[in-house]
Amino acid sequence: MEPTTAYPVSFTFDPPAHVARWRPLVSWLLVIPHAFILYFVQLVASVCVFIAWFVILFTGKLPEGLARFPVMLLRYQTRVMTYGMFMQEEYPPFEFPSEDTDVGDYPRVRVESITELEGRNRLTTFFRYLLVIPHAIVLAFLGIAAAFVILIAWFAVLFTAKWPDGLRDFMVGYIRWLTRVNGYALLLTDEYPPFSLD
C-alpha cells in the first residue's frame, strides 16, 4: 500500500493475506520486549531532537549525526506498532537501521526519510511544536476511531484470520499520517505535513 503523496517522510505497508488467529490474544504480550527498548530509543531521540533544535536555530543546519536517532525511532516505532496491532506475522527484528532509505530488513513495513540537513527554516523550527498542534488535535480524534477499529479487527482476526480491507486501509492511513507528523515534529523536514490518510 504505497502513499500517494511525495512527503519526505513516508510509511508503506505490505499486508499479509492472513494473520494467525491466536495473534490478537497475545500480541500485547509479545510486544513487551520491544516496548522496553522503544522507551530508551525514544529517550535518546528526544535528547538528539532537543540539541538539534538549538543547532538548527543557530546554524540553519541539521547535523547528520543528530538526525540518525529520530529516523531510527520512527522506523522502530512503526514496526513495533504494526506488530502490536496484529497487522502482520513477522516478529520485528532487534535491529536499529537509521539510514534515510529503509534497507528492507523488515519487508512488510518500510519507513523512508529524506532528511533535510542544509538550509533549514529557523522560523518554523522555532515554532515547530505550535505548528504541530492542529495535527495533534485531528490525530487525537483519529486515534479514538483507530481504537474502535482495532477492537473490531481483534474479533475479525480471531474469527477470520485476516483484517477487513477497509479497516486495515484506515489503520495504514492513520499510521502514515502519524509517521509524517512525527517526522515533522522530530525536525527531519521543514515541509508541513498534509492533512491526509494517503
Separation in Å, CA 4 to CA 57, 83, 198 = 32, 23, 6
What pLDDT is attached to residue 190?
Answer: 95
Cβ pair 139, 181 in contact under 8 A: yes
What pLDDT is attached to residue 155?
Answer: 96
52-110: pLDDT as tens digits: 999 999 999 999 989 999 999 999 999 999 999 999 888 888 888 788 787 777 778 88
| Average pLDDT of every residue of the chain | 91
Element (H, E) at 117: none
What pLDDT is attached to residue 6?
Answer: 84
pLDDT at 40 over 50: yes
Closest CA to 146 of 138, 159, 52, 2: 138
pLDDT at 5 over 70: no
Question: What residue type is assigned to position 73 of the chain?
Answer: L
What pLDDT is attached to residue 4?
Answer: 46
Cα–Cα distance, 181 to 177 (Å, whole number): 6
pLDDT at 1 over 60: no
98-111: pLDDT as tens digits: 887 877 777 788 88
20-38: pLDDT as tens digits: 999 999 998 999 999 999 9
131-178: pLDDT as tens digits: 999 999 999 999 999 999 999 999 999 999 999 999 999 999 999 999
The three three-digit cell numbers of residue 133, written as one number: 498542534
- In angstroms and rounded to an integer, the radius of gyration of the C-alpha atoms of the chain is 17
pLDDT at 39 over 80: yes
Cβ pair 83, 150 in contact under 8 A: no
pLDDT at 2 over 70: no
Cα–Cα distance, 196 to 175 (Å, whole number): 11
What pLDDT is attached to residue 51?
Answer: 96
Cα–Cα distance, 131 to 124 (Å, whole number): 8
Closest CA to 9 of 114, 99, 131, 117: 114
